[in-house]
């Protein structure tokens, strides 16, 4: 029997907002269906929330850190406020410790929240999200989208069809 997480960390693109590859335009931020209601339920219950996002477009020269910050501000305006934000600006070959599936962003978010990774859950839409949670010692839940590969779905220990279902699963109601 696992206990309910003390904080919920979320992937940005494809999990709480519609994935727009290398989005540098805040006007293109669109919430995933049901995301605001689900996040507000967690907030009403006093559960801290964080957003962790790989943004390799910065390393690739496709978007700037300023553009990512503007998009994140829009996400915060549409779905926030969030208690913690973590961004990895590195590319897949940079060897950093923060780019998912590495656990760095989860570990930093936990440190900022004053929680042990075993006390948090991370919800994302691809295998790297679930792998990062496992590497950090957190609970991971996969909410697949059309871009999620079948092998990622098959490998995920916890899966849900929607963000709301993922939260219900974490809270033992599913």
The catalytic residue positions are: 11, 13
82 vs 51: CA distance, rounded Å: 7
**Three-state SS for 62?**
coil
> Which secondary structure element, helix H or strand E, spans residue 154, and what is its range?
helix 150-155
**Three-state SS for 72?**
helix
> Which secondary structure element, helix H or strand E, spans residue 32, and what is its range?
none
Taking CA atoms, 154 is separated from 102, 115, 132, in Å, by: 20, 29, 16
51 vs 72: CA distance, rounded Å: 9
**Three-state SS for 7?**
strand
95 vs 98: CA distance, rounded Å: 9
């Amino acid at each position: 029997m696992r206990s309910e997480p003390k904080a919920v960390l979320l992937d940005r693109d494809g999990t709480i907002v519609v994935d727009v590859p290398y989005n540098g335009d805040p006007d293109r931020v669109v919430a995933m269906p049901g995301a605001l209601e689900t996040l507000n339920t967690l907030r009403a219950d006093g559960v801290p929330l964080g957003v962790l996002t790989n943004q390799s477009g910065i390393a690739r020269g496709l978007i700037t850190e300023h553009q990512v910050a503007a998009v994140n501000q829009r996400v915060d305006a549409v779905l926030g406020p969030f208690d913690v934000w973590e961004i990895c600006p590195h590319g897949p070959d940079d060897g950093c410790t923060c780019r998912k599936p590495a656990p760095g962003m989860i570990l930093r978010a936990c440190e900022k929240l004053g929680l042990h990774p075993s006390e948090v859950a991370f919800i994302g839409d691809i295998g790297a999200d679930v792998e990062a949670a496992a590497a950090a010692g957190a609970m991971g839940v996969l909410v697949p989208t059309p871009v999620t590969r079948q092998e990622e779905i098959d490998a995920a220990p916890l899966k849900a069809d929607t963000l709301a279902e993922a939260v219900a699963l974490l809270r033992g109601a599913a």
